[in-house]
Amino acid sequence: PVTVASIGGLLAVVLLVGWLVAAPRRSHPSAPLNIVALTSFGDVIDAIISPDARYVAFVRSSQGRQSLWIRQLRGTNAIQVVGPEAVSFYGMSFAPDSSSIYYVVRGPEPLARPAGMLFQIPALGGAPRRLGTPLDHYPVVSPDGSAIASLRADYPAPAQSALVTVAADGSGMRT
């Protein structure tokens, strides 16, 4: 039979566990925060860090032209992976394995398109690939690297917008 003493004992255990979980912890002082400049350019307008925390990619904007750069976080020199063009970068994202960067560029045809175009480039440089998918904003790569999601404005009709997904190669756009 359930007695007052057993209910009281159970209540005491529950309160003790609750107190142990919710009680403030004494934290150990952490090491001092060390902030280090990753660039000295002064014209960086966007940046992302790779999933493996080995690289930082960033966009520079100067005199109406933008370019894409990458730097190893433990290194000192940044390398340009996409040269300056009269375009606007509208977001970028690393592939989950950090091997490539997906990015959206707005600009004139045939390089891009005014509403935005999806590109991919190997993280350490190479030829950019225009994937042929019109996207407007930041590409978000799925955890397995098989799909990309983004926003399309004025789609499927003017004054409307839609979340779209495409395969990692830019094919098969779905809303």
pLDDT in the model for residue 151: 86
Return all residues near 20 (Cβ < 8 A) that are at least 6 apart.
none
Least confident of 2-11, 63-72, 103-112, 165-174: 2-11
pLDDT in the model for residue 31: 76
14 backbone dihedrals φ, ψ, rounded to 5°: -60, -45
Q: How far apart are CA 113 and CA 94, in angstroms?
A: 22
pLDDT digits (tens, 9 = 90+) for 108-123: 887 777 888 899 999 9
Contact between 92 and 101 (Cβ < 8 Å):
yes
